[in-house]
Amino acid sequence: MVKYFNDDYEEVVVSFDTSDIDPNAQMDIMPTSDRKKIASDGASTAYYKLPPHADELRHLIAFKGMSKSRGDIFKACYRLGEKAGVDVGYDLQKMKFFIDDLIQMHQRGEHL
């Protein structure tokens, strides 16, 4: 079972059969066909609206139901070059690593 919030800020619960998944595996699997496509004319669109409770990135990550890899890309991109002790190259390599992970997850049909 996976919980997330849709574009109308309503909680959505998705259940699916996980009986053939190793319970010790650390996977984040959810069908991606449930994502509602929203038309855009290039201007501001509904998928950019922020939920009323969001005042940190973690709220946006949870609201959009992002996998860990997608959330890590989002955070690294947002803070690009601002994390003490690391340079821009570190954040870019981190994003590249997790983008490669998302590509593999997509190929396996896992939740992104």
Domain boundaries defined on the chain: 2-30+53-108
Q: Residue 13: which pLDDT band, with cuts at 50, 70 and 90?
A: low
Q: Residue 98: which pLDDT band, with cuts at 50, 70 and 90?
A: very high
CA dist., res. 85 & res. 36, Å (int)? 40
What is the model's pTM?
Answer: 0.61
CA dist., res. 83 & res. 72, Å (int)? 13
Q: What's 14's DSSP letter?
A: E
pLDDT for 24 beyond 60: no
* Residues 6 or more apart in contact with residue 108 via CB below 8 angstroms: none
